[in-house]
Amino acid sequence: MASFDYEDAPANSAVPASSQSHEVLGYDPNFVPDSVKSFAVHLYRHIREKNVYEIHQMYETSFQTLSERLFKDTPWPSVDAVAHYVDNDHVFCLLYREMWFRHLYARLSPTLKQRIDSWDNYCSLFQVVLHGVVNMQLPNQWLWDMVDEFVYQFQSFCQYRAKMKNKTEQEIALLREYDQAWNVYGVLNYLQALVEKSMIIQILEQEKEGLEQFTANDGYDYDGGSNVLKVLGYFSMVGLLRVHCLLGDYHTGLKCLLPIDISQQGVYTSVIGSHITAIYHYGFANLMLRRYVEAIREFNKILLYIYKTKQYHQKSPQYEQILKKNEQMYALLAICLSLCPQVKLVDETVNSQLREKYGEKMIRMQRYDDEAFAIYDELFSYACPKFITPSAPSFEEPLVNYNQDAYRLQLKLFLYEVKQQQLLSGVRTFLKVYSTISLGKLANYMEVDEPTLRTILMTYKHKTHAVDGDGKITSNADVDFYIDDDMIHVMESKSAKRYGDYFLRQVVKLEGVINDLDRIKLD
Amino acid sequence: MGREREREVQQYTVEQLVAVNPYNPDILPDLENYVNDQVSSKTYSLAANLCLLRLYQFEPERMSTQIVSRILVKALMAMPAPDFSLCLFLIPERVQMEEQFKTLIVLSHYLETGRFRQFWDEAAKNRHIVEVVPGFEQEIQAYAIHVLSVTYQKVPRAVLAEAINIEGLSLDKFLEHYVANSGWILEKSHGRGQLIVLPRNEFNHPELKKNTEDSVPLEHITRIFPILG
């Protein structure tokens, strides 16, 4: 390969030996503009010197600026072209490629070969981290993005692979040959390995006894070590929650998140993307598990948080995603509140936003007629995760698109559940009006016979009393009752608003402010 | 005694596998054996069964519909927990269209909507599916009693009879047992037969409802001790 002296070469210099690829690709993967060379050199130095703040600036801002200016619809220069500016450092090249592929997925459409190459890169990167040979400190934002992107590319691959109808011979041959790429076992086992090797669960346990400083240091290592494995392990728990939701396994997903206490701040709240992803999936899983009150509580908290803080993220590359998830969670909240009308659990600000977006639809959803089911369908489909079929296609069968199968199943089962709760809304209306009423009278009003009414009332009780992971029963009912022979006695509902958590948070916050004030030295 | 010990060791091993190495195609046969084990020894493990259903999802050609059917029956027996739905989320639609699964879904539907009479009728017509799993009847009766207990302070005998599918002398014996062991009380209703007074709990007695909504775990309070101190 011809050698070039990039220092002297003008901007539109002659193309090197891979001119053929230039024509095919429409850009030159080996051309490295000065600004990119400078970017790589500086980033490499900052990583070596563990300047986390500078790394974060370059990663968040410089990379985006350069992408916007120079690589709006082409990939960044290939890693081979950049490598010799950074001593051919193996780990740096893996990190560079990680950013390279993420940029590609965001701006362009990856080819199958590129998808496979990205998988290989993640494998290499994770293996290096798992073998404990990494001595870097990277910003939490980047470490979260790695896990998030890893799961996203897996989801994208499954969707891509399931669209068999228009696959070319070459694509099918490649899929058969590289059957390990984005294999579901591989994805899950890497995430699991990161959780285990980092010992993050034990670290979080020990933190409760004051033996560890993980959360207090935001995950960073101030003893000269590396934060990479620990923080990747931590974020992998959120990653596992997400993957399990994509598979429809909500129970296991929630179990994976269990070591993280979401009633408190933590490393997961240090990056807004991870905060939102964790709560979105937590809430969705609880919705599918019929734990409506829990879902409502968490959606309410995060929606309020986003409302107050989104202005600070306007310039960030995550802004669009934040807005999208915000809208989706309002839709999920609308669904939860239609199935479980506990409006007292929702903050005023969130409630007014909700009324604006879904007030009309929520009224119609509670009618439980055909139109109502159509709205449940619409909101669920808009807000649900992009479910996947994890198994490889059978290449012998006729080529069809089956990428919608997983979603259709989850939707069908969800609507089935809604249908089972159809008659509860009517019961609720009457219970709100009476303090006692005989079964006979209520049966009359609802135009059913007494035995049917008894089954409806038992359905109401069963559906409004959720079973949590430990087998404990909690009532989700806003209005409740008991039956004495043939008399229904309506029970007053108590307010479910929580103040304890709020006060605790404020106490800690104020202490933080006072500490900050103390630190200011006055001359 | 020796065999029981063996089984204990095996159960310990399978549960450990599920906790430590769940994403592993090699444990599929162990998980299948464990399902049969749960059936014969009247035990139950949701985590292990979900793990198996996931593996079936990853490799559909290895799915055994017989095992899946047993998992679903076990899940029914776990009601009021939503385990049956959790399992359905993981079973492909075309499999759910098979006759035995359609039946199980119908049975679940009846139980979810308190239609006990229809449930017992349908179960009677499908003994071959449900009688494979010992303890089925008792577990469903326990579920029925649970629903009645959160709904009624006093339930008419006929309603109870329909819910647990026991009548006449057998029902008398059943009631005797529960009066002696579970705090049930028998009363005479105004000329319409027996009333069973069910034990008091926070769901059928409003005065017992603890306002636990605003309770804060001690763990969280300990975090502000340094500040307060």
- Tell me: the pLDDT tens digits for A292-323? 999 999 999 999 999 999 999 888 888 999 99
Of residues A315 and A194, the one with the higher pLDDT is A194
Is residue A446 located within the same domain as residue A467?
Answer: yes
Read off the pLDDT of each residue in A175-190 and give the average, rounded to a whole number.
Answer: 95
Token pair 């007695």 is at which residue? B205
- If DSSP states are collapsed to H, E and C, what string results for A13-53? CCCCCCHHHHHHHCCCCCCCCHHHHHHHHHHHHHHHCCCHH
Instruction: Using CB atoms, pick whichever of B24, B54, B151 lies closest to residue A249.
Output: B54
Residues A320 and A464 placed together within one structural domain of the fold: no
Q: What is the pLDDT of residue A6?
A: 32
**Closest approach of A495 to chain B, Cα-based (Å):** 8
Is A184 within 8 Å of B80 when comparing Cβ atoms? no
Mean pLDDT, range A129-138, rounded to an integer:
90
Give per-residue pLDDT as tens, A227-247.
999 999 999 999 999 999 999
How many domains in chain A?
Answer: 3
Contacts (Cβ under 8 Å, ≥6 apart) of A30 = A16, A18, A77, A78, A80, A81
What is the phi-psi region of residue A218: left when phi exceeds 0, alpha when psi lies from -120 to 50, beta otherwise? left
Contact (Cβ atoms closer than 8 angstroms) between residue A242 and residue A281: yes
Total number of residues shown for chain B = 229
B145 in contact with chain A, both atoms CB, cutoff 8 A? no
* Cβ neighbours of A208 in B, within 8 Å: 219
Same domain, A506 and A370: no
Q: Are residues A370 and A454 in the same domain?
A: no
Please tell me the distance in Å from B43's CA to the nearest CA on chain A.
15
Asked if pLDDT for residue A496 goes beyond 60, the answer is no
pLDDT value of residue A508: 78
Indicate whether A238 and A383 sit together in one domain.
Answer: yes
**Mean pLDDT across the stretch B56-75?**
96
> Is the per-residue pLDDT at A188 higher than 50?
yes
Structure-model confidence comparison of residues B10 and A120, the more confident one: A120
Confidence of residue B202 (pLDDT cuts 50, 70, 90): confident
Residues A375 and A473 both lie in one domain: no
The residue of B28, B84, B152, B162 whose CB has the most chain A CBs within 10 angstroms, and thus the best one to mutate to test that interface, is B152
- Shared-domain flag, residues A406 and A516: no
With cut-offs at 50, 70 and 90, classify the pLDDT of residue A19: very low
Q: Is the residue at A233 inside a domain?
A: yes
Q: What type of residue is A7?
A: E
Q: According to the 3-state scheme, what is the secondary structure of chain B? A: CHHHHHHHHHHHHHHHHHHHCCCCHHHHHHHHHHHHHHHHHCCCCHHHHHHHHHHHHHCHHHCCHHHHHHHHHHHHHCCCCCHHHHHHCCCCHHHHCCHHHHHHHHHHHHHHCCCHHHHHHHHHHCHHHHCCCCCHHHHHHHHHHHHHHHHEEEEEHHHHHHHHCCCHHHHHHHHHHHHHHHCCEEEECCCCCEEEECCCCCCCCHHHCCCHHHCCCHHHHHCCHHHHC
Based on the domain organization, do A325 and A314 belong to the same domain?
A: yes
* C-alpha span between B211 and A392 (Å, rounded): 51
- Listed by start position, the domains of chain B span 12-134, 152-207
* Residue A480 belongs to domain spanning: 434-492
A292 in the same domain as A303: yes
Average pLDDT on A15-24 reads 43
**Is residue A114 a contact partner of residue A142, using CB atoms and an 8 Å limit?**
no
Query: What pLDDT is stored for residue B9 in this prediction?
Result: 53
On the question of pLDDT at B203 being above 90, the answer is: no
Same domain (yes/no): A389, A503: no
SS3 A404: coil
* Residue listed under structure tokens 């503009």: A33
pLDDT given at position B219:
67
B2: closest CA of chain A, how far (Å): 32
Q: Distance from CA of residue A105 to its chain's centroid?
A: 17
CATH number of B12-134: 1.25.40.250
Phi, psi of A2 (to 5 degrees): -65, 145
What percentage of chain B carries pLDDT values higher than 70? Answer: 89
Distance of CA B96 to the CA centre of its chain: 20
Question: Considering only A327-336, A454-463, A474-483, which range has the smallest mean pLDDT?
Answer: A474-483
Q: How far apart are CA B150 and CA B147, in angstroms?
A: 5
Whether residue A75 is contained in a domain is answered as no
Q: pLDDT by residue (tens digit) across A366-380?
A: 888 899 999 999 999
Could you tell me whether strands A473-475 and A465-467 are parallel, antiparallel, or unpaired per DSSP bridges? antiparallel
Is residue A157 in a domain?
Answer: yes
| C-alpha to C-alpha distance for A384 and A267, rounded to whole angstroms | 25
For residue A471, give the DSSP letter: S
A94 CA to centre of own chain: 24
Backbone angles phi, psi at B185, to 5 degrees: -130, 140
Most confident of A236-240, B15-19, B179-183: A236-240
A145: in domain: yes
Q: Which residues of A touch B223 (CB under 8 A)?
A: 504, 508
Lowest mean pLDDT among A87-96, A126-135, A230-239, A512-521: A512-521
Q: Does B40 touch chain A (CB under 8 A)?
A: no
For chain A, give the mean pLDDT.
Answer: 90
Report whether pLDDT(A459) > 50.
yes
Whether A52 is covered by a domain: the verdict is: no
pLDDT band of residue A493 (cuts 50, 70, 90) is low
Within 8 A of B164 by CB-CB distance, chain A residues are: none
Confidence of residue A495 (pLDDT cuts 50, 70, 90): low
Question: Largest Cα–Cα distance of chain B, in whole Å?
Answer: 68
Using 50, 70 and 90 to split pLDDT, how confident is the model at A339?
Answer: very high
In a domain, A514, yes or no: yes
Q: Is A417 on the interface with B (CB under 8 A)?
A: yes
| Together in a domain, A503 and A375 | no
Shortest distance between the Cα of A491 and any Cα of chain B, in A, equals 6
- Provide the mean pLDDT of chain B: 89
> Nearest Cα to B49, choosing from B36, B62, B61?
B36
- Which chain A residues have a beta carbon less than 8 Å from that of B148? 458
For residue A238, tell me if it sits in a domain: yes
Q: How many CB atoms lie within 10 A of CB A98?
A: 20
Contact B155 A483 (CB under 8 A): yes
Chain A residue with CA closest to B200: the answer is A482
- pLDDT for A3: 34
Q: Is B80 close to A249, i.e. CB distance below 8 A?
A: no
On whether both A345 and A477 belong to a single domain, the answer is no
